[in-house]
Amino acid sequence: MHVYPYLNFNGRGEEALNFYRQALGGEIAILMRYADAPKDGPAMGGIDPNWIMHARLAFGANVLMISDTDRPVGPSQQISLSINLDGDTATAEKVFAALSDGGQVTLPLHKTFWNALFGCFNDKFGGVNWMINCQL
């Protein structure tokens, strides 16, 4: 059993998918657009057919799911995605810099009392909160 974060965007799904792919060194395993839905299936309403209906981004043993929705998507302070690394400070610094690019750093990556590099930020899409934790 696995739990995969599913991120929803209002028309910026493809931009987000490519941003995360590059920042995390991932591979797009699945990409389906609303235009790919069967024509005899349920109506999709007025959703842009080029928007992402479902995407799966794999990086290492991890997965992010991404889609576009026409429902309002607001920022959430209740959930953060945490990337945890064991002693790989160079990768921690690289991932922190890449994912926080264009976003808002809320806690710079720094050495902590629990012997780790730790930092927090909201990425450039505004509603996705990230934490980087690298055990030293």
How many separate domains does the chain show?
A: 2
Instruction: State the pLDDT at residue 127.
Output: 82
Whether residues 52 and 88 share a domain: the answer is no
pLDDT of residue 73: 72
* Beta strand ranges found along the chain (DSSP E): 6-9, 27-33, 52-59, 62-68, 80-86, 104-111, 116-122, 129-135
Q: What is the pLDDT of residue 118?
A: 95
Which tops the pLDDT comparison, 15 or 70?
Answer: 15
Instruction: Answer yes or no: is 12 within a domain.
Output: yes
What pLDDT shows up at residue 72? Answer: 78
- From 41, 68, 95, give the residue that closes a domain: 68
In a domain, 1, yes or no: no
Each residue's pLDDT tens digit, 69-126: 888 777 777 688 999 999 999 999 999 999 999 999 999 999 999 889 999 999 999 8
* Residue 21 shares a structural domain with residue 51: yes
Q: Which domain holds residue 36?
A: 6-68
Residue 59 lies in a domain: yes
- Same domain? For 38 and 89 the reply is no
Q: What is the CATH number of the domain that holds 113?
A: 3.10.180.10
74 within some domain: no
pLDDT computed for residue 64 by the predictor: 95
**In whole numbers, what is the pLDDT of the chain averaged over residues?**
91
- Cα distances from 52 to residues 26, 63, 75, 115, 136, in angstroms, run 17, 16, 20, 40, 38
Same domain, 87 and 126: yes
* pLDDT bracket for residue 21 (50, 70, 90): very high
Which has the closest alpha carbon to 33: 57, 82, 67? 67
Cβ atoms 118, 133 nearer than 8 A: yes
Give me the mean pLDDT over the 19-44 stretch.
90
The token duo for 114 is: 């629990």
- Number of CB atoms found within 10 A of residue 102's CB: 9
Residue 73 lies in a domain: no
On whether both 23 and 60 belong to a single domain, the answer is yes
